[in-house]
Amino acid sequence: MSIFDAIGIAGTGVTVNRKWMDAVSDNLANINTAVRTSDPAYEAKYVVAAEAADGKGTQVAGIVTGSAEGKLVYDPSNPLADEQGYVKYPDIDMSTQMTSLIMAQRAYQANLSVIDRSKEAYQAALQLGKA
Amino acid sequence: MSIESIGGVGDVASTLGTLATGYGQGIADTDNLQMTGAVGGGSGTSYTGVVNPAAVSGVAGTGASTSVDGTSGTDFASLLAQGLGGGVDKLQGLQSTSDDLAVKAATGDLTNVHDYMIASNEAQLATQLTVAIRNKAVDAFNEIMRMQV
């Protein structure tokens, strides 16, 4: 890490954004997970990024979960429905998740670009005085 | 393929390092030979009676051992190692990291794909850096070898 800092730092950014994509993917996968009204709904995952402990790059400080209250949906044909005909869906907004997904993807790609560019720069430095 | 080539270059670099050690020794040896030969010749030609050969050889011995070993005593290989600032060790560390991640990728234990790519890129860059510095050092060495004495 100490020789090629830019690459290592961008690597931490890639890792954080991968975890963000994982969280979004988890949320989207569970967006239709219905439970009984007496049970807790699926809790949406939100990645909290923070500066790395050594000051080089970023890291995942933790995962914050959304509420387990969910939203009640009237669906009497669902086998999980209660006496009033309600089931509980997780409180996840699909458009928000898709936006997050795009942001995570772009940030991931941006960090990969940093790795590529810094590698090119390092290689150019090695060519110093040759041409 | 890339790992093998990287490892190959690393091996080449290390073998060149040992070769350079040989060259360094060679210089020291020839210098020693020339010094002692010259002094021996000097004592042999003229001052046989006055200067006793023991003292001359003693002087030659100290002169040769201190000055020649002092200049090339950090001989070429260690000079190269100094120039790299322990770069060879770091290079080996990066390459072993890359190899570990390659094994993880093969066995399916790799959680972050980019980790391996970064590690292999870093190993490649470090190899290129080491080779570049080695080439510069060899150039300098050759320049010295071409010096008119």
Q: Within an 8 Å CB–CB cutoff, is residue B128 touching chain A? A: yes
Residue type, B79: L
Task: Tell me the pLDDT tens digit for each residue of B10-26.
Answer: 444 444 444 444 444 43
pTM of the model as a whole: 0.65
- Helix, strand, coil shares of chain B, percent, nearest 5, are 85, 0, 15
Name every chain B residue with its beta carbon within 8 A of the beta carbon of A18.
Answer: 112, 114
Name every chain A residue with its beta carbon within 8 A of the beta carbon of B94.
Answer: 3
Please determine, for residue A88, whether its predicted confidence score (pLDDT) is greater than 90: yes
> Residue B136 has what pLDDT?
87
The H or E element containing residue B77 is helix B76-84
Between the CA atoms of B62, B68, B74 and B78, what dihedral angle is there, to the nearest 10 degrees?
Answer: -130
Residue from B24, B59, B18 nearest B39 by CA: B59
**Tokens encoding B22:** 């040989």
3-state secondary structure chain A: CCCCHHHHHHHHHHHHHHHHHHHHHHHHHCCCCCECCCCCCCCCEEEEEEECCCCCCEEEEEEEECCCCCEEEECCCCCCCCCCCEEEECCCCHHHHHHHHHHHHHHHHHHHHHHHHHHHHHHHHHCCCCC
For an interface test with B, the pick among A2, A4, A19 (most B C-beta atoms closer than 10 Å) comes out as A4
Q: Average pLDDT for residues A51-72, to the nearest whole number?
A: 91
Please give the interface size between A and B, counted as residue pairs whose CB atoms are below 8 Å apart.
40
ipTM: 0.75
Q: Within an 8 Å CB–CB cutoff, is residue A46 touching chain B? A: no
Confidence band, pLDDT 50/70/90 cuts, at residue A40: very high
Q: Within an 8 Å CB–CB cutoff, is residue A123 touching chain B? A: yes
> At which residue do the structure tokens 């997904």 appear?
A101
CA distance A90 to chain B (A): 28
Angstrom distance (rounded) from CA B114 to CA A108: 10
Task: Tell me the pLDDT tens digit for each residue of B90-126.
Answer: 788 888 889 999 998 899 888 888 889 999 998 888 8
**Tokens encoding B46:** 């003229």
Confidence band, pLDDT 50/70/90 cuts, at residue B57: very low
